[in-house]
Amino acid sequence: MKKIALVAWLALVQLLILSPLSASADTKTGESDVFLVKPYLQLGEGARQGDLAKQEKMEVVWFTSSNGKSEKWQVQSKSQTDSKWFSSKSVEVFSIGQVENVPFYRYTVKIEGLNPGEKFDYKVLRNGSLAFNGSAVARKSFNQPYSFAVFGDVGAGSAGEKKVIYEVTKRKPDLVVMPGDITYDQGRISQYLSRFFPIVNSQVSSPDNGGPLLSSSLVMPALGNHDIAMTTSWKGTDLNRFPDALGYFIFWSTPLNGLKLDYKIGQSTRNVLPLIGEQAVVTKFLNAAGKRYPNMGNYSFDYGNSHWLILDGNEYMHWGDSELRAFVENDLTKSKAKWKFVSFHQPPFSLDIYHHSEHRMRLLCDIFERTGVQVVWCGHAHNYQRYFPLKFKAKTNKDGVPMMNGNGTVTGDYILDTTFNGSTHPKMKGVLYIVSGGGGASLYRRAPFLPKESEACHKFIHGMHSFTFCSINDKTLNVSQISDDGKVLDSFKVETD
């Protein structure tokens, strides 16, 4: 009897030690570790605007160190109403070169023919074996209710980031918008790999790990100052110093429908993110990024009955220039969406200790007011701030265009709608400015002595990481600010016409 038990025990030990699975699989998830970046979802370049047809698409993207020639990759998908799995037509493999001596290949597969608003499952197969599976909801159409989360200043690798991602993922938002500073400190590919993807696409959902947000929700990015390797006395992204900088243009895939900008090596172009470095390193980045750089800094997309304009608020953008102002005005005017939202990193209004006098984006307030934008969502200040719905009358130049002072401030007068209370008076006169920058980076307190902004600010909540969670049903927007341990910090409703 004893001998049999010993043999069984030895066999079990041998199985645990020698099993090839233990060498090739993530012990927590059982998934293959062939990925440099596990699969996640993207809207892709060609996403349509306006109401959606029964042909909604989503991209599945992943990265490996193999060029895919000696293996077969496939993506299969099945929506709720399908009885069988469909194989995607083709797998696009694109080399982005070596990153820290490791070859990097981006794989992109389009899942097509999705019904708007319908849940779908997908699986990524490698040589016929399951390497990854996930599920998500296809983009919602005009009449379908939907939920979304907004939070910036995320990828710091902090305990707060993990808790925020866990809480957001738990609520299964249809859409997530990240208004910049996606990955610290410089937005490098290597930092995405250590501080962003392992948390924001963690296959384990817990407050200590994060959750599978990127593989189960549509996440849309904006460029922040940390996404462009900004340093003191910055004159451009220094690719000699940070050869894997600008991960934003490698990992994200958004519509390229905004400002059409052109970059030529060695030529500094107004309103284009400047690059610094030897020709070889700059060329390597340009080849890797393709037409995403610099155009992915400014774009728009539709979700449900909302239109989202995403802008680059960094210092090389001159939003007082007439072409740029015309682009914003045209984009917002032509949209027939019920809700018009704008999102960028640097808030026009902030009471925080570090960025309170960085007013560059106030130059666009008059356009937001004219075109019927309801909410402007920002990050940059690592806290939560909600302003009264407001109209801002900036000091203008002789042509009547809002102007910025030499020190980066934009002076002007506020007209506040203090009758709006988010419950019994839910209609707004003016634009609602929200700062939601508590996604993971170290937190900011309030600056003293800002009487005008203090008057305009309705709520300033700091000292904990947090995110904004919203739902829209036709003309009603419900907004909650939620802490990293799930407590509701602020909650209100907005009605539109």
Q: Which residues contact 456 (CB under 8 A, 6 or more apart)?
A: 349, 387, 388, 390, 414, 416
Query: Which residue lies nearer to Fe ion by CB, 161 or 302?
Result: 161
Among 201, 225, 253, 383, binds Fe ion (CB under 5 A): 225
Q: Could you tell me the smallest distance in angstroms from the CB atom of residue 381 to Fe ion?
A: 8
Residue 452's alpha-carbon distances to 131, 382, 462, in angstroms, are 55, 21, 19
DSSP secondary structure of 220-289: EE---GGGGT--TT--SEETTT-TT--THHHH------S------TT---TTS--EES-HHHHHHHHHHH
Q: Does 227 bind Fe ion (CB under 5 A)?
A: no
Smallest Cα–Cα separation from 260: which of 228, 294, 288, 220?
294
Among 224, 348, 430, 440, binds Fe ion (CB under 5 A): 224
Residue with tokens 């990524």: 124
Angular region, 408: left φ>0, alpha ψ -120 to 50, beta rest = left
Q: Does 181 bind Fe ion (CB under 5 A)?
A: yes
CA dihedral 428, 257, 235, 447 (to 10 degrees): 10
Q: Could you tell me the smallest distance in angstroms from the CB atom of residue 421 to Fe ion?
A: 31
Query: Which residue lies nearer to Fe ion by CB, 47 or 378?
Result: 378
Q: Could you tell me the smallest distance in angstroms from the CB atom of residue 157 to Fe ion?
A: 16
Instruction: Measure the CA–CA gap between 135 and 138, rounded to whole angstroms.
Output: 10
Query: Which residue lies nearer to Fe ion by CB, 181 or 238?
Result: 181
Query: Which residue lies nearer to Fe ion by CB, 225 or 468?
Result: 225
Query: Which residue lies nearer to Fe ion by CB, 224 or 247?
Result: 224
Q: Could you tell me the smallest distance in angstroms from the CB atom of residue 293 to Fe ion?
A: 20
Smallest Cα–Cα separation from 40: which of 250, 243, 244?
250
Segment lying near Fe ion (by CB under 5 A), choices 81-89, 216-224, 382-390, 470-478:
216-224
Query: Which residue lies nearer to Fe ion by CB, 411 or 442?
Result: 442
Query: Which residue lies nearer to Fe ion by CB, 116 or 180?
Result: 180
DSSP secondary structure of 189-205: HHHIIIIIHHHHT-SS-
Whether the Cβ atoms of residue 91 and residue 68 lie closer than 8 Å to each other: yes
Segment lying near Fe ion (by CB under 5 A), choices 27-35, 190-198, 220-228, 381-389:
220-228
Q: Could you tell me the smallest distance in angstroms from the CB atom of residue 184 to Fe ion?
A: 9
Q: Could you tell me the smallest distance in angstroms from the CB atom of residue 221 to Fe ion?
A: 13
Query: Which residue lies nearer to Fe ion by CB, 162 or 382?
Result: 382
- Here the tokens at position 297 are 């800094």
What's the full length of the chain, in residues? 497
Smallest Cα–Cα separation from 472: which of 222, 332, 342, 303?
303
Query: Which residue lies nearer to Fe ion by CB, 224 or 277?
Result: 224
Residues 110-149 that bind Fe ion (CB under 5 A): none
Whether the Cβ atoms of residue 388 and residue 418 lie closer than 8 Å to each other: yes
Residue with tokens 């739902």: 471
- Name the residue type at position 159: A
Query: Which residue lies nearer to Fe ion by CB, 99 or 178?
Result: 178
- Here the tokens at position 40 are 């996640």
* Residue whose beta carbon is closest to Fe ion: 380
Q: Could you tell me the smallest distance in angstroms from the CB atom of residue 380 to Fe ion?
A: 4
Q: Does 312 bind Fe ion (CB under 5 A)?
A: no
Segment lying near Fe ion (by CB under 5 A), choices 62-70, 120-128, 133-141, 372-380:
372-380
Q: Could you tell me the smallest distance in angstroms from the CB atom of residue 224 to Fe ion?
A: 5
Q: Could you tell me the smallest distance in angstroms from the CB atom of residue 439 to Fe ion?
A: 11
Query: Which residue lies nearer to Fe ion by CB, 181 or 352?
Result: 181
Segment lying near Fe ion (by CB under 5 A), choices 223-231, 304-312, 326-334, 483-491:
223-231
Angular region, 493: left φ>0, alpha ψ -120 to 50, beta rest = beta
- Here the tokens at position 364 are 């666009």
Residues 376-405 that bind Fe ion (CB under 5 A): 380
Q: Could you tell me the smallest distance in angstroms from the CB atom of residue 345 to Fe ion?
A: 6
Query: Which residues pair with residue 147 across a beta bridge?
Result: 471
Instruction: Measure the CA–CA gap between 372 and 391, rounded to whole angstroms.
Output: 12
Binding site for Fe ion (CB under 5 A): 181, 224-225, 380
